[in-house]
Structure 1
Amino acid sequence: MVSSKQKTDIVNNFGDNDKDTGKAEVQIALLTSDIKNLQDHSAKHKKDYSSIRSLVKKVAQRRHLLNYLLKKDVNRYKAVIEKLGLRK
């Protein structure tokens, strides 16, 4: 779970203003930070299947948002990918 301080930092970095949480870029960035936290948790607790399931759901949700962004605006998609470091 992302703390409120981390959430405001992410929203300020990716959104137009501090309350712009509906933007696709902000949602992708929030999901990415949740995914990183769940990956760390899953590495320590290998048999915690409920958190592994939520990790898979969040990855799928981020993939759907990325596909939406790719269809809408390729430049915004590339900027998010580069800023978050999702592709190699």
Structure 2
Amino acid sequence: MSLTTEKKASIFTEFAGRAENTGSIEGQIALLTERIGQISKHLQENKKDFSTHRGLMQLVGKRKSLLIYLQRHNLQGYRALIEKLGLRK
């Protein structure tokens, strides 16, 4: 269920530029998006797993706050990231 180190490194390489750049906002948002997708898939199979649902809501809130920060400080980067991740239509 958790992400492997290779998967995390590839996410940060793709979105942050380098695998070592784990503090970049774009990389963190991409990592949260990947985890949200995995947890959503788990919850489709396990509908009564309420503690995982709570954790999912916390991750969604964290991603939302990071997206708001990115939007305020780097609008072009924000638009490119949501386009690349397919978050909004």
TM-score calculated relative to the size of structure 1: 0.97
SS state of the match for residue 48, structure 2? coil
> Which structure exhibits the higher relative contact order, with contacts defined as CA atoms closer than 8 Å and separated by 6 or more residues?
1
Aligned to 1:78: 79
- 1:18 and 1:70 map into 2 onto residues whose CA distance is 23
- 1:53 and 1:75 map into 2 onto residues whose CA distance is 32
Aligned to 1:10: 11
Q: Does 1:50 align with 2:51?
A: yes
TM-score calculated relative to the size of structure 2: 0.96
Q: Does 1:24 align with 2:20?
A: no
Q: How many Å apart are 1:16 and its aligned residue? A: 2.6
CA RMSD of aligned residues (A): 0.7
* Count of aligned positions: 88
Q: How many Å apart are 1:8 and its aligned residue? A: 0.7
* Unpaired segments ≥5 residues, structure 2: none
* Unpaired segments ≥5 residues, structure 1: none
Which letter maps to 1:2? L
